[in-house]
Structure 1
Amino acid sequence: MDGGARRFAWAVLALLAALALLIPAGAAAQPEIADDNIRAELAADGPPTAGDEWMLALHFVPRTDEWHGYWSNPGDAGLGMELAWDLPRGWSAGEPLYPVPRRLVIGGLMNHVYEGPYTVLVPIRVPRGANIEEIEPIGVVADYLACTDKLCVPQRAELELDPAAADDDPRFVRWRASIAPMLDSRANFAIEDRRLRVGIPLPADMALSAPHLFVEERELGRGLRPRYAGEQTFFRDGDLLVAEVPLDQLNLPAEIVREPEPTRLEGILAFSHDVGVRFTAVPGAVPSAGKPVPVREMPPFWILVFGALAGGLLLNVMPCVFPILSLKALSLARAGESQAEARREGFAYTAGVLTACIGLGALLLALRSAGEAVGWAFQLQEPGVVIGLLALATAIAANLAGVFELPSISLTRRGEPAGAFATGVLAAFVATPCTGPFMAAALGAALVLPPFEALVLFASLGLGLALPFLAIGLIPALRRLLPRPGPWMETFRRIMAVPMALTALALLWLCFRLGGAAFGWGAAGLTVATVAILAIVGRRAAARSGAGLLAVLLVAGAAIAFLPRLVSEEVEAAESLLDPLPFSEAALADARATGRPVFVWFTADWCVSCKVNESVAIEREATREAFLNAGVVTLRGDWTRRDPAITEFLSDHGAAGVPLYLWYEPGKEGRQLPQVLGPDALVTLARAAPDRPADVAQGKPRPDAAGAR
């Protein structure tokens, strides 16, 4: 391996190592059995005060990653922790406060566990008049279970703490934040037909990515207990979230079966992994129907990271990115023997890509946390952004075609790191509409994961996008495989102007679709003015290219400020062979109520993969005939412009953006289809649908678009 290859390998390993620090480790070798598989520590939040509550912490640290501990209700297997306190007279310990547990299914058995370090807080009530200085050390014996997926080992920790010597532990800030907070409103529960329904007051606009109800009570009276591994269902009734948990009827003696239902129910409602609230419920009325809330299982984090990495790699062959990558690669070939220059450009390009991906991801997360209904590639829903991209793509295409020569925007010349950095930013920015099919799961997860983990996914996407150019920059052997510089490069450069010009035409078409005719013609005028200014200045003198670029920036800035005022409120819907209804949840409900199959697709005019799928699988005569024969009702959600209702619906189905395809069999829940559709995918679904309803055979009309947008 030559020096360049070694440097590339070390650079990639360093970047991957930075990501790997946040990825849960995989399964290790056979775990070692010991008495401290999960070590326990007793800590205090400062010294106690007479008459106040004193918070203690039991902090647990697994010796290796394969060991896990348990929640108070361990589920189908395991053992909850038991505490025996040795406290001064008059002192008493309250109920332990736990973080949100995780689910672990082993052999069909559901376990409620904690993986990695976790902390349980225990409030201690200190009586009035207690003399803290004369109190003897307090003690606790904690009996708990440490398990892997193969074995379990009982653990006992005998811990002591001197109240008079207790200091403030700075870790308490983090530990308190990890505990599920108590819901300030009381919930109701009802048990009917071997189903536990819990109605929890929760604002209707609160996002739920992977809800799950952890019930603390193991027995629910009459021999019933929660079926922990059973499928839970969730629906909303206004600001009330209703969770339904299936129950098992145990074969128990008659005296136990006659035990009444509990008068109080406690537990934790998880919104997503590690995020949730504690609740207390009492018997009461709970609705039995409402708007369904989908429940999704999230893949392991390391799968999401490598999915994002692979998706970034595949983006390099997309039409908007490949010309930029190939021309920058040729610029390194032109750089010749300068290894230092190639290395600098490789790192600068990578830094630009990572900056753009992380920046866009951070902005997306910030907007969503502020209540904005936005998704991935949201910037292409903004007319001003599209105008700026149109001006840039037009300038690059004209430059590559030889209309003018401005070194400051040339992609084929030897460049400074600043130019490579800017090119990386550009490549990442224009690649965002194409990410959907390659990393749908990762992008959907990024919207519900904690911010830091979400940014790791965006960084993984950027790393994958930058890797080919980084490899060319660091490995001389790869550069030697590139064609030698020569006159042919000018011809190749002009050929590469074609996809960039097509990109500019696509953006111009998007202007018409996004804002209507007046906005589109205004954008067309901008492209003409951009090329004219650059051609005049660029042909006079290369030294004055800065003035030309400044003039273009002024024209583009004025256009970005003025042209959005021309955006039309209404834009004509694109024609379709399937004649779909505009999507709305009311229209979807009406369509499903007909008893016919329903196909819903979400698209956007700026989404390249959406348009490919439409040409390959949707807008086909064979699909239209199959849908007509099967009586399929079609709905289309157009996300070209901002639509909060569509954004919310996409988020509910784990999608950060488009495309999204859903197929509803009569009387069944929707099935999410792959984001890359084969030519006969929809035809096959339609032919496999149940026989046509009688009203279809008689030619009765489909549901109207009442309530549709």
Structure 2
Amino acid sequence: MPAARPARKRGHGWQSGQPARPLWQWLVAVMLQVLALALPGQALAREPNITASLVAEGPGAPGQTITLAFVMQPKPGWHGYWQNPGDAGLGMGLEWTLPAGAKAGALQYPVPETLLISGLMNHVYEHDYAVLVPLTLPANAAPGQRLDVAVDATWLACTDEVCVPEQGRLSTTVTVGTGIVGTGRDARFDAWRAALPAPLGSPASFAWDGAKVRIGIPLPAAVQLDSPHLFLGDDRVVDYAAPQKFFRQGDLLVVELDRAKIAPAQPGALNAVLRLNGAGDGVTLTAAPGAVKPGGEPVGEARSSAPLAMLVLAALAGGLLLNVMPCVFPILSLKALSLARAGESEAQARAEGLAYTAGVVLACLALGGLMLGLRAAGQEVGWAFQLQEPLVVATLLLVAVAITANLAGLYEFAVPGFASAGSPQGAFATGLLAAFAATPCTGPFMAAAMGAALLLPTLPALLLFGALGLGLALPFLAIAFVPALRRMLPRPGAWMVWFRRAMAVPMGLTALALVWLASRVAGSAFALSAALLGFLLVCALLLLGRRQRHGLSGGKPVLAGLVAIAVIAALGLPTVVRAPSAAATGILPAQPFSEDALVRARASGKPVFAWFTADWCLTCKVNEQVAIEREDTRAAFERAGVVVLRGDWTRRDPAITRFLAAQGAAGVPLYVWYPAGGGAPQQLPQVLTPAMLAELAK
């Protein structure tokens, strides 16, 4: 049973189960490649059918590795080829002219597409695409020096009926700089990197079984597959046009392929790219010879509603449990007063319950929709992406300062949920703020649902985000509509004034935590500037409260001050954003996570603990205190020789985002344990117990 959609077909006589292709089709493939190399230079003088250019991402320091991009733009109806073109075609050929001491690395292709023409399977790109290549600058280059980089490139441009070999001398200039993050950077590289397949992060295996090749790929069951296809980088190992079969064996995906009719001896390794869905998401993998059991649950296009229903329930449960996760602690004071006010009357309680729920669900839908839109535009973002943005953190800081001042009685304002008589509008705004501040981390049940949301079509994905918001609002909604629960709350009275003053303490601590987070996201200068704006805001609100106590309105001076603070924040704060200083060394020695570091660690044969965190993720910080940064964990890891890799996702990191997506996770925390000797990886729960890691090391 083929698991993927048949490749788009052109020509005639092709059926999904047809016998081996006749010899003439192989001859056509060979002739195309010979033609690409043998045509005279006059044929190349025409206007290219695929326009190519070479661009650099930005300047780099001496000895630093930067990224270049071959930007390929086919005319309508034309296509270019992947590194292994399939049955016919030709990949890029390069001859570099580099400055002395510079070195170019291997080409990095985006996930390709399938194109079947007259029984020949091609691995192509029918749209604009970019092939990336790392370039290491000379170690002896001087800052300010301009380095000329050139390459003689050849490529093949084809339609359904004709192929034209093309070539060009492409060049660019790289300025040697100081290596400051983001200086002179080309923003298009974010989208081009997003099109690259993510590293699988764990080794696959393959079995050479008669006329079949079975490849076992460790892929979490939470990763949804829609139109999967496996592109082998090794030439002439499999029959490219034969139907591919996919089976699930728990967290192992088994791909069954037909061997090529004239196949080489069993290779020592297979390199491949697994396309996960029609949107072009994929993972890159390396498979070594090993045992791969046949069979499993077939993976096909038609999926029942049961998996989606289970994901919706998981999102609902995850949102419900989020109410008791550390991520939600900073806004418990907002909920507390709203819950207390909900007891004033049945009608008011229901109105506020529905308004609060609407605010929470709308915020979750907006955040989820924005995240999906950014990913569709090529941005590498995940859940809680808003707290990776310095200006968002600064905005939350100013909001926390304003709420703290209101709770402390410095001024009066209908801050969400705190109007003297209560209001649905206030409850709605409270819900918006609660969801925005309470969803940075993934708790139990959320990881699978949010990871699946990155791979599902838009409407089912938004359904999961809506279910998450409903779960988050469910306790307040229940209290609003169940009188027995509402009667358990204290009756409104004078105690609420004292309670309100007490709630200023956690909100003030939240503001201080946001100052610290601002320093981790954008540097100490940014944090100091944001704190200064918070101080000016308190001064303006004090003046407002003084006028209110004298029966006066806010007045133009206060309004002018608030507007000035907003303008300074919008225009001045972006100018002081800097790369944060390195995190302090903890008890558990760890290396920074990178794809290469994971490959090296796995190759050593030692157990590996990959740990992904962020400074704004309170669940992550609790786990670190409870289970990770412990002397007994360190001692157990030392005895077992565990290699620890720490992925810091405080600021946006495309490599970490791709790795999270490849593991079926939309955000942090994520903990992956790789056993010694290359065993299958194990995803650990989002909430760790104190002895869990020490037991794994044993």
TM superposition score normalised by structure 2:
0.60
Deviations 1:191-235 (A, max 9, x none): xxxxxxx99668895577999xxxxxxxxx9964677xx84579x
Contact 2:342/2:480, CA 8 A, preserved across alignment: yes
Between the aligned partners of 1:262 and 1:579, the Cα distance in structure 2 is 44
CA distance in 1, matches of 2:451, 2:334: 27
Q: How many residues align?
A: 473
1:682 aligns with 693
Residue 618 in 1 paired to residue 599 in 2?
no
Pairwise CA distance, 1:267: 2.1
CA drift at 1:242: 4.0
Which among 319, 323, 328 is matched to residue 333 of structure 2?
323
Tell which deviates more after alignment, 583-592 or 452-461. Answer: 583-592
Percent identity over the alignment?
50
Q: 1:205 to 1:268 in 2, by over 3 A?
A: farther
CA distance in 1, matches of 2:398, 2:425: 21
1:608 is aligned to 2:618: yes
Per-residue deviation, 1:648? 0.8
Quick one: which of 673, 681, 694 aligns to 1:670?
A: 681
The verdict on how the C-alpha distance between 1:93 and 1:409 changes in structure 2, with shifts beyond 3 A counting, is: closer
**Are the equivalent residues in 2 in contact too, given 1:516–1:568 (CA < 8 A)?**
yes
Q: Tell me, in whole angstroms, the C-alpha distance in 2 between the residues paired with 1:348 and 1:470.
A: 9
Aligned to 2:459: 452
Is the Cα contact below 8 Å between 2:649 and 2:656 reproduced in 1?
A: yes
Match of 2:537 in 1: 530
The whole-number CA distance in structure 1 between the counterparts of 2:555 and 2:528 is 28
Unmatched segments (≥5 aa) in structure 2: 5-10, 18-78, 89-120, 126-130, 132-192, 201-207, 220-228, 249-254, 274-282, 286-296
SS in 2 for 1:541: helix
SS at structure 2 position matched to 1:635? strand
**From 603, 613, 624, the counterpart of 1:593:** 603
- Pair 280,93 (structure 1): closer, same or farther in 2 beyond 3 Å: farther
1:187 to 2:86 alignment: yes
Q: Contact 1:374–1:644 at 8 Å: present in 2 too? A: yes
Q: What is the correspondence of 1:133-532 to structure 2 with a 5 Å cutoff? A: 187=86, 206=195, 224=211, 231=216, 242=231, 265-267=241-243, 288-290=269-271, 293=283, 300-317=307-324, 318-333=328-343, 336-337=344-345, 339-409=346-416, 411=418, 413-532=420-539
Distance apart, 1:307 and its partner CA:
1.0
Letter of the 1:643 counterpart: D
Deviation at 1:489, TM superposition (A): 1.2
2:588: which partner in 1?
A: 578
* Structure 1 unaligned spans of 5+: 1-70, 75-91, 99-181, 190-197, 212-220, 235-239, 246-260, 689-709
The answer on whether the counterparts of 1:307 and 1:439 sit within 8 Å (CA) in structure 2 is: yes
> 426-435 or 496-505, which moves further after superposition?
496-505
* Cα distance in 2 between the residues matched to 1:347 and 1:222: 60
Q: Distance in 2 between matches of 1:263 and 1:426?
A: 55
1:576 positional shift = 1.0
Q: Deviation at 1:380?
A: 0.3
Distance 2:240 2:634 in 1: 56
Deviates more, 1:199-208 or 1:433-442: 199-208
Query: Pairwise CA RMSD of aligned residues?
Result: 4.2
CA 1:685–1:232 in 2, change beyond 3 Å: closer, same or farther?
closer
Q: Check conservation: 1:533, 1:552, Cα contact below 8 A.
A: yes
Aligned residue type for 1:587: A
Task: Tell me by how many angstroms 1:477 deviates.
Answer: 3.6
Aligned equivalents of 2:432, 2:569: Cα separation in 1: 22
SS of residue in 2 equivalent to 1:434: coil
Deviation of 1:268 (Å): 5.4
Per the alignment, residue 44 of structure 2 pairs with none
Q: Which residue of structure 1 aligns with residue 185 of structure 2? A: none
* Residue of structure 1 in register with 2:137 after alignment: none
**CA 1:301–1:393 in 2, change beyond 3 Å: closer, same or farther?**
same
Match of 2:655 among 645, 651, 658: 645
In structure 2, the partner of 1:565 is: 575
Distance 1:222 1:453 in 2: 39
Aligned partner of 1:629 in structure 2 is 639
Deviation at 1:551, TM superposition (A): 4.4
Secondary structure in 2 aligned to 1:641? coil
Q: Distance in 2 between matches of 1:407 and 1:619?
A: 43
Give the superposition deviation at 1:453.
0.5
The aligned amino acid for 1:187 is: G
Counterpart Cα distance in 1 of 2:353 and 2:502: 24
The structure with higher relative contact order (CA 8 Å, sep 6+) is 2
TM-aligned CA deviation for residue 378 of structure 1: 0.3
TM-score by length of 1: 0.59
- Superposed displacement of residue 633, structure 1: 1.9
Amino acid at match of 2:553: R
Preserved CA contact (<8 Å) 1:265 1:282: no
Q: Would you say the 8 A contact 2:391–2:574 is kept in 1?
A: yes
Question: 1:629-678 CA distances to partner (integer Å, 9 max, x unpaired)?
Answer: 22222121111011111111111111101111122223314322221111
- Distance in 2 (CA, whole Å) between partners of 1:384 and 1:264 is 49
Offset of residue 294 of structure 1: 8.0
Post-superposition offset of 1:592 = 2.6
Cα distance between partner residues in 1 of 2:571 and 2:246: 44
User: For residue 544 of structure 1, what is the aligned residue in structure 2?
Assistant: 553
* CA contact 2:442–2:686 (8 Å) conserved in 1: no
Q: Distance in 1 between matches of 2:599 and 2:198?
A: 22
TM-aligned CA deviation for residue 350 of structure 1: 1.4
Work out whether residues 349 and 417 of structure 1, in 8 Å CA contact, stay in contact via their aligned partners in 2: yes
8 Å Cα contact 2:3/2:244 also seen in 1 = no
Change (3 A) 1:382 1:597: same
Give the Cα separation in 2 of the matches to 1:472 and 1:544. 37
Offset at residue 574 of structure 1 (A) = 2.7
Aligned to 2:22: none
Other-structure match for 1:10: none
Q: Is the 8 A contact 2:413 2:419 kept in 1?
A: no
Q: Secondary structure at the match of 2:645?
A: strand
Q: CA deviation at 1:516?
A: 1.6
- Residue 554 to residue 440, structure 1, CA distance change in 2 (3 Å): farther
Q: Which structure has the larger Rg? A: 1
Question: C-alpha displacement at 1:572, in angstroms?
Answer: 2.0
Q: Deviations over 1:264-312 (max 9, x none)?
A: 742258899xxx9x99988677993347848999992111111111111
1:223/1:291 CA distance change after superposition, 3 Å: closer
Q: Is the 8 A contact 1:364 1:374 kept in 2?
A: yes
